[in-house]
């Protein structure tokens, strides 16, 4: 009979966590996309923390691109970067700067970034939205 050649009915199964299907960013055709299963348990606090970190690091990446473009355009701070007379204009752009900046300068740079990460860029509890750094 012809029924033997008809496609078998398949039950639609979803492995996605249904708890986050209505969140901002979940859209067709994928819906909520979590390929690594980071919030597979449906933990709302973990989901909010990951969203907060994604927004914060996205903002930092945008600032890094702007800084790179400004430096590549030739804009440099006036004066010396260290006491040995190395000028800001002597420091190359991009990753080449890491070898040109003295060790104490790199320490200051990373200490400042750590300070911002720990004390300044904190999410406000009960803010208007995730990533509210006011």
Q: What's the pLDDT score for residue 39?
A: 86
pTM assigned to the model: 0.67
Q: What is the pLDDT of residues 94-132, one digit of tens each?
A: 888 889 888 998 999 999 999 988 888 776 666 677 666
Q: Which residues pair with 80 in a beta bridge?
A: 87
**Residue where the block lists tokens 């104490």:** 104
**Residue where the block lists tokens 């440099």:** 76
Element (H, E) at 54: helix 44-72
Q: Which two tokens stand for residue 79?
A: 């004066």
Name the DSSP letter for residue 87: B
Q: What is the pLDDT of residues 25-60, one digit of tens each?
A: 778 888 888 888 888 888 888 888 888 888 888 988
List CB contacts of 122: < 8 A, sequence separation 6 or more: 133
The burial class, CB within 10 Å (0-12 / 13-18 / 19+), for 56 is middle
């Amino acid at each position: 009979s012809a029924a033997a050649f008809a496609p078998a009915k398949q039950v639609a199964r979803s492995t996605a966590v249904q708890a986050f299907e209505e969140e901002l960013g979940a859209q067709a055709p994928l819906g909520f996309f979590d390929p690594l299963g980071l919030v597979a348990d449906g933990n709302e606090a973990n989901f909010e923390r990951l969203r907060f970190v994604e927004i914060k690091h996205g903002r930092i990446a945008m600032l890094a691109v702007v800084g790179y473009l400004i430096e590549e355009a030739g804009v440099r701070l006036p004066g010396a970067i260290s006491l040995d007379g190395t000028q800001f204009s002597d420091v190359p752009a991009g990753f080449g700067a890491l070898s040109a900046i003295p060790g104490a300068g790199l320490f200051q740079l990373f200490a400042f970034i750590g300070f911002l990460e720990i004390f300044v860029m904190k999410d406000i509890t009960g803010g208007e939205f995730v990533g509210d750094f006011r």
